[in-house]
Amino acid sequence: MTRAVTYLLLLANAGIVLWQVTLGSESGNNLPQRDSSVKLLMLLSEQKNSGSTRAAVAISGSATPREPGEACFTLGPFRSQDGAARAREALQGLRLKPTGRVRNEREQYGFQVYLPPLGSREAAIDAARELADKGITEYYIMNEKNLRNAISLGLFRSKAHASRQVERLKEIGVFVEILPRYRDRKLYWLDYNDAGQALNDAAIRQFFPDDPVQRLTRSCG
């Protein structure tokens, strides 16, 4: 009788242990759902990386296109105030804002063919007679400060024409030289900013068909 009771107690204890083990394994596979109001824990390194990513997105999203840079030009030269005034009106018609500028510049206007200065006026007159004897009629004795008593044998627009005159005179035994000639005159320029390239090469040809004007880049400072 006592032995039978002991066996029954042992079986009951074994059943209780088996039931607890089974219950524990089932509850481990069914974790409770996270409350949406509770924030997840995040490592410090993760927080830094996340912050950098958000900052990069914010910067790229808020970037604005850069304004176009200035493009500054000067137009000219115009040889008269009237020509510069007409050009100013043309640029204003393109909604540009030109400002005028005047410069005294040395301008080359031709090539002088000449006999170098002789020692005196009398010597120049004698040389002129010799030229006349050779059939040369187009000459004159010069009286400029640095060319006093020289003899001019022609002023030419291009050096090529002046060189041909030198060769013709050489054939009859007259040896002359070529001197570039300059003069000081006022030249007029228009400075303007044209970032949109409103005045292009085609517009320049249209507005100034007879004027040899140039469009040059310049500093905007």
* Residues 6-16: tens digit of each pLDDT: 555 555 555 55
Both tokens of residue 119?
A: 């020692």
**pLDDT, tens only, 176-195:** 999 999 999 999 999 999 98
Average pLDDT over residues 190-214: 87
| Tens of pLDDT, residues 100-138 | 999 998 889 999 999 999 999 999 999 999 999 999 999
Q: Quick check: is 43 in a domain?
A: no
pLDDT for residue 114: 98
Phi and psi at residue 58, in whole multiples of 5°? -65, -40
Residue 46's Cβ-side half-sphere holds a number of Cα atoms within 13 Å equal to 4
Q: Is residue 176 part of a domain?
A: yes
Judge whether 208 lies within some domain.
yes
- Does residue 35 form part of some domain? no
- In a domain, residue 1? The reply is no
Residue 108's domain spans which residues? 72-217
Distance in angstroms (rounded) separating the CA atoms of residues 123 and 117: 9
As for how many domains the chain has, the answer is 1
Q: Does residue 78 belong to any structural domain of this protein?
A: yes
Over the chain, what HEC string results?
A: CHHHHHHHHHHHHHHHHHHHHHHHHHHHCCCCCCCCCCCCCCCHHHHHHHHHHHHHHHHHHHCCCCCCCCCEEEEEEECCHHHHHHHHHHHHHCCCCCEEEEEEEEEEEEEEEEECCCCCHHHHHHHHHHHHHCCCCCCEECCCHHHCCCEEEEEECCHHHHHHHHHHHHHCCCCCEEEEEEEEEEEEEEEEECCCCCCCHHHHHHHCCCCCCEEEECCCC
Residue type, 51: G
Q: Tokens 């880049």 belong to which residue? A: 217
pLDDT, tens digit (0-9, with 9 covering 90-100), for 62-86:
333 434 568 999 999 998 999 999 9
What whole-number distance in Å separates Cα of residue 80 and Cα of residue 31? Answer: 95
Does residue 48 lie in a domain region?
no
| In-domain check, residue 62 | no
